[in-house]
Structure 1
Amino acid sequence: MFERFSKEAREVVIRTQEEAEALGHEWIGTEHLLLAALRHPEQPGAATLTRLGVTPASCRAAVAEVVSGTGDDLGPQDAAALRAFGIDLEEVRRRAEDSFGQGALDGPAGTEDSGAHGPAGRHRTRGGRALSRHLPFAARAKKALKDALGEALARKDRRIGVEHVVLGLSRSDDALSLGVFARLGVAPEILRERVLSDLRATAA
């Protein structure tokens, strides 16, 4: 499928790694696809997001608020449910890292003498600083990319562009994606309508 992506869309997929690493995340999700798409504000789809008032800074803040670095499958509803039982995920992470070091909750136990490798196979220096490695794509990100392909096929477009990635993201219905859009003040269905409207105007 990747060979069908335009140059800009390929860059979006590639840059998700940088976006995830910058936020200290252990996975690549829809939120990182959205951030990477905003690196191409002149491209269809991303340009629509810009006109709706979404900036890289506002998007990064929204992602940080929703995810809070707690893991792939924990969205805002999960965090709220745990808080109702007196469990603060950020406090748990802070205490664990104070006691056992940075990234203590990122992998299985029993890695105290791991040499050059830390939890979850992450490569580390002797000082314990994490080095870059390939991060896995979360199921929701894979779905968004498949939906991008579906959008291109439905429109009979020969290649998958940034616009199709954004359209794919607008179809995401998981709690984390919806939480990010809610904090940005952008309804996914409105985003989809605006992107399609912009594409029609361009084609006219």
Structure 2
Amino acid sequence: MFERFTTDARDVVIGAQQEARELRHRWIGTEHVLLALLTTPDAPGVATLTRLGVTQERGREAVVAVAVAGDGAALGEEDTEALKAFGIDLGEVRRRAEETFGEGALDAPLESGRGKRFGVFRRGKQGDGGPGHLPFAPRAKKALELSLREALARKDHSIGTQHILLGLLRSDDQQTLAVFDRLGIQPRAVREQVLTDLRDAA
């Protein structure tokens, strides 16, 4: 599928990994893809978000707020509530870990291979960018697959930034919807505006 991506779209996929690293996340999610898209405010599709006042700065604030909310947002509210039923408070787990090991102790990426000693994984230095590859979360993979469907539906021969954005706007997972909500984005309405802008620009 990636051979069909335009150079700009490939840059978004690469940029998403960088965004995840900068936020010290251990996976690449739809939120990181969105942040990478927002680095090109005039790109097809993204220009609609720019016109609606969605900037990379606002995007980053929304992503951080959603990640911090409840300290269990990465698992989702249902998982967090299920763990609470067993007496496990993720916020308290995070607080104690950071009290013992330092701020962001649970966020730093794990080192691979030689970092495993005595059954314990060492963590890379915070913000070191680490050489390891970050995996795409299932929701990000789904959004990228939807971008291919968007290109096919529009009879476009390649996948561009507009298709990636349209794929993100079709996402229905809690994390993505929470970020959109923070940004004041109603996915269905914004999707229609993106499509209108693309038609007008053609």
Question: TM class by shorter-chain length?
Answer: 0.7 to 0.9
Q: What is the TM-score normalised by the length of structure 1?
A: 0.82
Q: Is the 8 A contact 1:67 1:76 kept in 2?
A: no
Q: CA deviation at 1:99?
A: 2.3
Question: Where do 1:33-44 residues align within 5 Å?
Answer: 33-44=33-44
Return 42-51 or 80-89, whichever deviates more.
Answer: 80-89
Q: CA deviation at 1:142?
A: 0.3
Which residue of 2 is the match for residue 140 of structure 1? 139
Return 167-176 or 60-69, whichever deviates more.
Answer: 60-69
Which residue of 2 is the match for residue 183 of structure 1? 182
CA distance in 2, matches of 1:104, 1:2: 32
CA distance in 2, matches of 1:48, 1:191: 8
In structure 1, the gaps of 5 or more residues are none
Return 162-171 or 73-82, whichever deviates more.
Answer: 73-82
Which residue of 1 is the match for residue 94 of structure 2? 93
Q: CA deviation at 1:45?
A: 1.2
Which residue of 1 is the match for residue 171 of structure 2? 172
CA distance in 2, matches of 1:6, 1:199: 16
CA distance in 2, matches of 1:177, 1:193: 18
Q: Is the 8 A contact 1:96 1:105 kept in 2?
A: no
Q: Is the 8 A contact 1:35 1:59 kept in 2?
A: yes
Q: CA deviation at 1:98?
A: 2.5
Distance 1:82 1:57, change over 3 A: farther
CA distance in 2, matches of 1:145, 1:169: 8
Distance 1:57 1:84, change over 3 A: farther
CA distance in 2, matches of 1:77, 1:60: 24
CA distance in 1, matches of 2:144, 2:49: 18
CA distance in 1, matches of 2:75, 2:24: 15
Q: CA deviation at 1:12?
A: 0.2
Any idea what SS the aligned residue of 1:57 has? helix
Letter in 2 for 1:50: T
Any idea what SS the aligned residue of 2:14 has? helix
Q: CA deviation at 1:201?
A: 0.1
CA distance in 2, matches of 1:130, 1:162: 25
Matched, 1:103 2:94: no
Which residue of 2 is the match for residue 14 of structure 1? 14
Q: CA deviation at 1:62?
A: 0.9
CA distance in 1, matches of 2:38, 2:105: 28
CA distance in 2, matches of 1:2, 1:197: 26
Q: CA deviation at 1:82?
A: 6.0
Q: CA deviation at 1:77?
A: 5.5
Identity %: 55
Q: Is the 8 A contact 2:26 2:107 kept in 1?
A: no
CA distance in 2, matches of 1:34, 1:56: 9
Any idea what SS the aligned residue of 1:68 has? helix
CA distance in 2, matches of 1:97, 1:2: 39
Q: Is the 8 A contact 1:26 1:71 kept in 2?
A: no
CA distance in 2, matches of 1:77, 1:130: 31
The Cα RMSD (Å) is: 3.1
Question: Where do 1:142-161 residues align within 5 Å?
Answer: 142-161=141-160
Distance 1:158 1:67, change over 3 A: same
Distance 1:38 1:54, change over 3 A: same
Q: What is the TM-score normalised by the length of structure 2?
A: 0.82
